[in-house]
Structure 1
Amino acid sequence: MNIDEINFDEKGLVPAIVQDARSKAVLTLAYMNKESLKMTIEKGETVFYSRSREELWHKGATSGNIQKVESLHYDCDQDSVLVQVTPAGPACHKGDYSCFSNSLINKKPSPKEEPYAIIDKLRDILAERKATLPEGSYTSQLFQEGVDRIAKKIGEEAGEVIIAAKNNDKDELSMESADLLFHLLLLLTDRDVSLEQVLSVLEQRHQ
């Protein structure tokens, strides 16, 4: 990226859309000036310009909720940037995973309209749980216990899938497969591996 190609506005700012690289959820809309954009590239973590305080701020410098930059793109008009990140905590100052937690319209597709929508929903939830670690959450507990515990759960669920398949129990096989898929998505989230990376491997093998 050549910073000189960015069209900053009359105040020297450009809007920065911040997106979770794993779940693809939009986390926040902030602003950068030339200096903060340069620092973001150099640090590999988001640095914004506060319009209210009129100063630079390194996201997570005090809270620990840093955002590790995975990619940085600018749009066709060169007047906005998209920053894909791996967040280490909530994006919102209110403690929410995303600043966009309030809804005006929220049409939920039916399983027939979008049969794989639940996968995206689970990815959002798992990314949020990893970032915020709410108390009393089963997924938060697994994230805190670490990869060994998560991997053990996958082994357990895989065994249950095998037993259900050998017993030719379709209902049980469906339920155990759901458990296995959930824990696999959890492991991918824990290891910062996106589902797109997995699907890309399948696509390459198919070709």
Structure 2
Amino acid sequence: MNTEMIQFDEKGLVPAIVQDAASKEVLTLAYMNKESLTKTIETKETWFYSRSREELWHKGETSGNTQQVLDLRYDCDQDAILVLVNPAGPACHKGTYSCFNDSLLTEEVKPDADRFAILNTLEEVIAKREAERPEGAYTTYLFKEGVDKILKKVGEEASEVIIAAKNRDHQELTWESADLIFHWMVLLREQECSLDDVLQVLEERHASK
């Protein structure tokens, strides 16, 4: 990225929107000056400029919750930056996965019906569990146990799907398929692979036919 094309404001700052590259969840909004942007590019980890302290700060330097930078994009006016990251922990100083947790809307706004919306929601929840590691959560347990445990569960659930299908048990097949999808999505997160990556392969295969 040529930083010369970025339009910094009169204080020498540009807003940086940080987004989880896998779940697409917006994690935080911070600011960069030319030096922190350069350090971000060089180190492939996020660096920002603190307006209150008037100094650079390296995300995760003290907490360990660093953010691996996968891409840096700028908008059409070149005065805002989108930072796509792989977070190593919560983005918010309050210990939450994202800084954007509260809504100004008094009523729940339901988007147009999307029968696959639950997959997006599930991907976000799994990402949040990995970052925050709440005690007692099953997903936290899986991430703490590591890839071998997750792979074992994927294998077990795949076997259960096969058995349910052989038995022509519709209800059991539905339940076991849901279990398989859940554990498969946990595995994707552990492997830093997004659902979008999988869908893109499917689209490419379909287009090539």
With structure 2 as the length reference, what TM-score do the two structures score? 0.96
SS of residue paired to 1:15: strand
Q: How does 1:182-201 map to 2 (within 5 A)?
A: 182-201=182-201
SS of residue paired to 1:176: helix
Task: State how far apart, in whole Å, the 1-side matches of 2:141 and 2:195 are.
Answer: 22
- Output the amino acid matched with 1:107: V
- Output the amino acid matched with 1:16: A
- Residue equivalent to 2:162: 162
For residues 98-117 of structure 1, give each alpha carbon's deviation from its aligned partner in whole angstroms, at most 9, with x where no partner exists.
Answer: 0001112342347xx11111
SS of residue paired to 1:134: coil
For residues 41-70 of structure 1, give each alpha carbon's deviation from its aligned partner in whole angstroms, at most 9, with x where no partner exists.
Answer: 000000000000000000000100000001
For residues 52-96 of structure 1, give each alpha carbon's deviation from its aligned partner in whole angstroms, at most 9, with x where no partner exists.
Answer: 000000000010000000111000000000001011111001111
SS of residue paired to 2:185: helix
- Output the amino acid matched with 1:132: E
SS of residue paired to 1:150: helix
Identical-pair percentage: 66
Aligned residues between the structures: 205
SS of residue paired to 2:92: coil
- Residue equivalent to 1:127: 127
- Residue equivalent to 2:30: 30
- Residue equivalent to 2:94: 94
- Output the amino acid matched with 1:23: S
Q: For the Cα contact (< 8 Å) 1:70–1:86, is it kept in 2?
A: yes
Q: For the Cα contact (< 8 Å) 1:21–1:70, is it kept in 2?
A: yes
Task: State how far apart, in whole Å, the 1-side matches of 2:178 and 2:160 are.
Answer: 11
- Output the amino acid matched with 2:37: L
SS of residue paired to 1:193: coil
> Could you list the runs of 5+ residues in structure 1 that have no partner in the other structure?
none
> Could you list the runs of 5+ residues in structure 2 that have no partner in the other structure?
none
With structure 1 as the length reference, what TM-score do the two structures score? 0.97
Residues 1:178 and 2:178 aligned together: yes
- Output the amino acid matched with 1:108: K
Task: State how far apart, in whole Å, the 2-side matches of 1:108 and 1:160 are.
Answer: 34
Task: State how far apart, in whole Å, the 1-side matches of 2:161 and 2:141 are.
Answer: 23
Task: State how far apart, in whole Å, the 1-side matches of 2:95 and 2:49 are.
Answer: 20
- Residue equivalent to 1:43: 43
Task: State how far apart, in whole Å, the 2-side matches of 1:189 and 1:181 are.
Answer: 12
Superposition CA RMSD, Å:
0.9
